Amino acid sequence: TQTVSQSDAHVTVFEGDSVELRCNYSYGGSIYLSWYIQHHGRGLQFLLKYYSGNPVVQGVNGFEAEFSKSDSSFHLRKASVHWSDSAVYFCAASRSSGSWQLIFGSGTQLTVMP
């Protein structure tokens, strides 16, 4: 069974701070990992994805994530957050072949204080 866990339901930081949102997965085979952002009242927007190669993946708006097979993790980071980064962030996984089913984590609400 494939699972994705986001251990922090809420993270609060100040504008200009760095932030790391954690994601861990469990799956025995090849896996693709993604991060999505959902602002209040809007749909999920794609941030970035890892499927092979360089374990550090760059995304939009200064976000990056690092894949670690040894830790079964795919944490999302940003060096300096802006108030507009306040949103819910979802980590998602899918099998590498023939599957369109994304398995989502429970989400992390990021609040950026001015």
Partner 1 sequence: VTLLEQNPRWRLVPRGQAVNLRCILKNSQYPWMSWYQQDLQKQLQWLFTLRSPGDKEVKSLPGADYLATRVTDTELRLQVANMSQGRTLYCTCSATTGGGQDTQYFGPGTRLLVL
- Sole binder of partner 1 in the list 58, 80, 84, 99 (CB under 8 A): 99
Site map for partner 1, 78-97, x if CB under 8 A? ------------x---xxxx
Site map for partner 1, 23-52, x if CB under 8 A? ---------x-x-x-----xxxxx--x-x-
Handedness of CA 38, 34, 25, 99 (dihedral sign): positive
Decide if 81 contacts 89 (C-beta within 8 A). no
**CB-based contacts of 72: which residues, under 8 Å, 6+ apart?**
24, 25, 26
Interface residues toward partner 1, by CB under 8 A: 32, 34, 36, 42-46, 49, 51, 90, 94-107
